[in-house]
Amino acid sequence: MHNQAADQSRSALHAVGDNVSHTPLLHVDGVGLQYRSATAVAQATHDVSFDVYPADRFVLLGPSGCGKSSLLKAVAGFLKPAAGEIRLDGVAIHQPGPDRIVVFQEFDQLPPWKTVKQNVMFPLLASRTLGKREAAERALHYLDKVGLGKFADAYPHTLSGGMKARVAIARALAMQPKILLMDEPFAALDALTRRKMQEELLILWEEVRFTLLFVTHSIEEALVVGNRILLLSPHPGRVRAEINSHEYDLQSLGSVGFQDTARRIHRLLFDEGQAEPAAQVNFKDVRFSY
Ligand SMILES: Nc1ncnc2c1ncn2[C@@H]1O[C@H](COP(=O)(O)OP(=O)(O)O)[C@@H](O)[C@H]1O
Ligand SMILES: [Mg+2]
């Protein structure tokens, strides 16, 4: 209900031309992504559109190979769309920038010769965002937020997988990007640690209210982490549906509503035989079922 109201106020604001606070932060419009080699063209996505609003936890969900990482790379500015356009804060994206920070799954991206604090400081210094003293302060601030204040002087090899994940998140947030991009960040963790990280990410979001674009192939993770989910079909990735999922969190994992929505999503993603109009009906059910 809350989101419906927000949608209505958004369109009302658009109608009168006042789009100061309700303009999408990220606008992805008809994006087609391709990989070209000398002999072939692989179409990764086709005509993908979506909008991410400030403080959204927007999830791209779909089976492996449907172009989720490619979309994230395009938003990060590493991959140029063959069709369509991506805008951040109204400005077309053509290259990487410090306003978009990516957290990947491989936490061994933390240089092992730097301490935790130095790892978090590094992008701040390399991008000349801050001087050394301010960078150290900012690093400690975000390490505290992820519960690693006491480990500032530890080296990455002494940390568990979950702690490395938290360092990577602190390092990204310390850059205070306009949008945080996460590509299956917890996929390499064991099931319990993964759940804990999802919980911590949500707690952190409650506190910091960053804008998140999160990629996963796990329906459960999408429902827990996201407030909005874009379902992508495979080969090439196309938008199958978009659903609201703000009512779900780790507490609702076993509930009937959660299970039911998870099953509907599964059907939308994998029921190849299902005709589009039927999918639309399901999509509406899911969206307005609360
Ligand atoms: N560097 C690349 N060169 C050629 N094809 C690629 C490359 N990266 C991805 N692809 C292809 O693009 C499609 C989408 O890949 P990807 O975005 O990694 O999907 P996902 O993250 O959803 O698993 C796949 O078919 C994949 O094989
Ligand atoms: Mg991927």
Contacts 24+ apart (CB under 8 A), 275-284: 279/240, 279/241, 280/241, 282/241, 283/241, 283/242, 283/243
pLDDT tier at 272, thresholds 50, 70, 90? low
- From 8, 45, 43, 41, select the one nearest 28 (Cα to Cα): 45
Task: Report the predicted TM-score, pTM, of the whole model to 2 decimal places.
Answer: 0.86
**Does pLDDT of 4 surpass 70?**
no
Compute the average pLDDT of residues 209-216.
Answer: 97
Compute the average pLDDT of residues 109-127.
Answer: 94
pLDDT for position 249: 86
pLDDT tier at 14, thresholds 50, 70, 90? very low
Q: Residue 236 CA: which ligand is closest? A: 1
pLDDT for position 108: 64
pLDDT tier at 107, thresholds 50, 70, 90? low
Distance 175 CA to ligand 2 centre (A): 23
**Using alpha carbons only, how large is the chain's radius of gyration in Å?**
19
Best mutation site among 31, 34, 35, 79 for ligand 1 pocket (most ligand atoms within 8 Å of CB):
35
The residue type found at 37 is S
Question: What distance in Å separates the CA atoms of residue 105 and residue 127, rounded to the nearest whole number?
Answer: 22
pLDDT digits (tens, 9 = 90+) for 51-98: 999 999 999 999 999 999 999 999 999 999 999 999 999 999 999 999
Residue nearest to atom 12 of ligand 1 (CA): 44
pLDDT digits (tens, 9 = 90+) for 20-49: 457 899 999 999 999 999 999 999 999 999
**Does pLDDT of 288 surpass 60?**
no
Strand partners, 103: 182
Question: What distance in Å separates the CA atoms of residue 158 and residue 11, rounded to the nearest whole number?
Answer: 51
> Quick one: 8-87+179-287 is in which CATH superfamily?
P-loop containing nucleotide triphosphate hydrolases (3.40.50.300)
Distance 206 CA to ligand 1 centre (A): 33
Distance 137 CA to ligand 2 centre (A): 34
pLDDT for position 179: 98
pLDDT for position 286: 37
User: Could you tell me if the CB of 78 is within 6 A of ligand 1?
Assistant: no
> In angstroms, what CA-CA distances link 187 with 82, 106, 168, 221, 222?
29, 9, 14, 10, 12
pLDDT digits (tens, 9 = 90+) for 254-264: 899 999 999 99
Structure tokens at 107: 């936490």
List phi, psi (to 5°) of 187: -65, -25
User: Could you tell me if the CB of 39 is within 6 A of ligand 1?
Assistant: no
Tokens 């989101």 belong to which residue?
3
User: Could you tell me if the CB of 73 is within 6 A of ligand 1?
Assistant: no
**Does pLDDT of 12 surpass 90?**
no
For the chain, percent of residues with pLDDT exceeding 90? 76
DSSP of 39-65, one letter per residue?
S-EEEEEEEEEEEE-TT-EEEEE--TT
User: Could you tell me if the CB of 270 is within 6 A of ligand 1?
Assistant: no
Atom of ligand 1 nearest to the CA of 72: 17
Best mutation site among 39, 61, 69, 183 for ligand 1 pocket (most ligand atoms within 8 Å of CB):
69
Q: Residue 187 CA: which ligand is closest? A: 2
Question: What distance in Å separates the CA atoms of residue 172 and residue 175, rounded to the nearest whole number?
Answer: 6
Give me the count of residues in the chain. Answer: 290
**Does pLDDT of 118 surpass 90?**
yes
pLDDT for position 284: 33
Distance 234 CA to ligand 1 centre (A): 11
pLDDT digits (tens, 9 = 90+) for 147-194: 999 999 999 999 998 999 999 999 999 999 999 999 999 998 899 999
